[in-house]
């Protein structure tokens, strides 16, 4: 039932979790293989490019998920406020209400920044631009500024929630964002 590349796709979520928790440098092949349930042989069969290709695949997968679940609605939904609310609730679910960290943000901060710079920049730029478009369609002034501030706040919320070990920080932020982003024009 699985395509030839099925093992690859199946392994990606586990690999993502390891990169998320340990960073690029900290994610060892031993750990990656163990958590993916794959021996080193299988791992290198599915990802001939090694660790870098695994990280590439994980970033691709994350980018595709956000594109499909969040950005596209922000761009195309005729009701921009609905798209924004959907963004907030999907974001809440994706980051497990602040208990989970943003892999792209973590990569941006430390190791792997240079290696994956374009992909990282693209991820955030797409988010900011899609959100700015929705805000613009909703008739808000300074949509770009508002969007930049929202994207940045989400990242900061994840950092602070993790640092204080208090997921509510993230929940409170999302509440504030809904008020800020869905206010009357």
Q: Does 110 bind DNA (CB under 7 A)?
A: no
Residue 106 site contact among DNA, a second copy, none (CB < 5 to 8 Å, cut-off depends on kind): a second copy
How far is the C-alpha of 146 from the C-alpha of 135, rounded, in Å? Answer: 8
Residue 18 and residue 31 in contact, taking contact as beta carbons nearer than 8 Å: yes
Chain positions 14 to 53 lying near DNA, rule: CB under 7 A, are: 27-31, 38-42, 44-46, 50-52
Nearest to residue 104, comparing CAs of 73, 149, 74, 64? 64
Cβ proximity to DNA: between 43 and 177 the closer is 43
Q: Which does 31 bind (CB under 5 to 8 A by kind): a second copy, DNA, none?
A: DNA
The contact set with DNA (CB under 7 A) reads: 4, 7, 27-31, 38-42, 44-46, 50-52
Query: Which residues in this chain contact a second copy in the complex, by CB under 8 A?
Result: 21-23, 25-26, 101, 104-106, 108-111, 113, 117, 120-121, 123-125, 145, 148-149, 151-160, 162-165, 169, 172-173, 176
């Amino acid at each position: 039932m699985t395509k030839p590349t099925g093992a690859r796709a199946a392994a990606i979520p586990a690999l993502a979790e390891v990169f998320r928790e340990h960073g690029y440098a900290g994610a060892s092949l031993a750990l990656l293989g163990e958590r993916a349930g794959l021996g080193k042989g299988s791992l290198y069969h599915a990802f001939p490019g090694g660790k870098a290709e695994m990280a590439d695949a994980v970033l691709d997968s994350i980018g595709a998920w956000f594109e499909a679940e969040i950005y596209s609605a922000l761009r195309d939904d005729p009701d921009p406020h609905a798209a924004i609310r959907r963004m907030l609730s999907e974001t809440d679910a994706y980051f497990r209400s602040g208990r989970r960290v943003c892999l792209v943000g973590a990569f941006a901060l430390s190791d792997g920044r240079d290696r994956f710079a374009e992909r990282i920049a693209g991820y955030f730029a797409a988010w900011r631009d899609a959100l700015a478009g929705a805000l613009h369609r909703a008739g808000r002034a300074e949509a770009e500024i508002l969007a930049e501030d929202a994207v940045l706040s989400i990242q900061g919320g994840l950092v602070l929630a993790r640092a204080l070990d208090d997921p509510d920080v993230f929940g409170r932020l999302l509440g504030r964002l809904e008020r800020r982003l869905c206010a009357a024009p």
